[in-house]
Structure 1
Amino acid sequence: MILLFTDFGAEGPYLGQMDAVLRQAAPGAEIINLVSDAPAGDPRLSAYLLAALCRFFPKDSIFVGVVDPGVGGDRLPVVLKADGRWFVGPDNGLFNTVAVQASQVEWQIIGWRPEQLSNSFHGRDLFAPVAARIERGDMTWSGGPYAGPDLSGWPTDFLRIVYVDHYGNAITGARYAASLAGLSLAVNDHRIPEAKTFSDVPEGQPFWYCNSMGLVEIAVNRGRADAELGLAPGMEIGFV
């Protein structure tokens, strides 16, 4: 299973080009467009969404992560193997949360290069072909082990909004914990109570809850939390 996690958006040719490369190079693989609207150009916010999603997939799943504002620059192309799952993409923070939350971590540099490598589309030309090689059991892409980025200051949870979904719900980088039960969530001058789910509060009322990924999420029953509360990715949250 090869899963695409990108900030490309659903429109345009980019997802189709990556899908075509994977289908040619790994014809037996199941290819899933997991997320195409990750926080645009923001690997740090995207990292917490990716870490929450990946744990629902089996070992040996291969994630191609392309949130890569530094494409063509000096950031390294890498492969992370974390708790049996593979992550292929740039070493720019996108995989850091996966790494700090994992028990077993191994980083490798991508040493292989194609004959033609675009300066601006490594997702198609480098990361997708490497993912296909991993799916085939071909390790000729590896440039050797890599110590990985310095994660000493990288928080395992992030008290910020990292993603706003189609319904206007604001997903944070904070994993739910029992210690948060009963607390109010503070964001953008609002104090929001906890509830179990949408039907537990009156129509139009904001609340926060533990979502299906195990993350703290802010919502409004029958409304849009982003519009009604003025929420956007990157905003800080707190608990009181």
Structure 2
Amino acid sequence: MRVGVVTFPGSLDDRDALRAIRLAGAEAVALWHGEHDLQGVDALVLPGGFSYGDYLRAGAIASLSPIMTEVIDAAGKGMPVLGICNGFQMLAEAHLVSGGLIRNDHGNFIRRDQALRVENTDTPWTSGFEQGQEIVIPLKNGEGGFIASADELARLEGEGLVAFRYEGVNPNGSLNDIAGVRNDRGNVVGLMPHPEHAVEPGFGPDTAAAMRSGTDGLTFFSSVLQATVLAA
């Protein structure tokens, strides 16, 4: 399986995402924002960072990059797409998922190991989790507050489109503690925390077993690998 990671000007976590894909057992393919070629990949990751310096709005300019034409088309045909942090902002700006992301309610950039509750396992990226499972994933953002209109928020909740919810503390003022959402079809998922930073012992969040031993993020990438194999 080939999973592409798109690099935009200002991307910071593209190399981490590529490494996570390789650790999960898939072939990682580096893609460039200025191209129109997805190089035959089976799934896509839009990584975190500060694309175009977060000018205008975080993710807004990147959502209009040449390769996003191909990303939108591929997502419409059912290809699994994961947007992480800045990538989630791109998905929202491109209307591939509902809602939007605004400045954290406390006005500060935040970095913490964040507990999440898995709300939806019916996607290629979350199928390896259990419904209601608590996981810990690093979080780092300045514009992570999830918003949506009252009607859209009710639809997201009513149709089970919330993918992840913050547990213990809401770090950025997101409505209904929403940390991530999926699209109607289920192939597109966006979340603010960074699963690619919790894929390898010695580099992830602390756990009860040992410091820096958390690897909950690896399940995102192993899930899409398994889901694609089963769909083949």
TM range (shorter): 0.3 to 0.5
Normalising by structure 2, we get a TM-score of: 0.33
Greater strand percent: which structure? 1
Normalising by structure 1, we get a TM-score of: 0.32
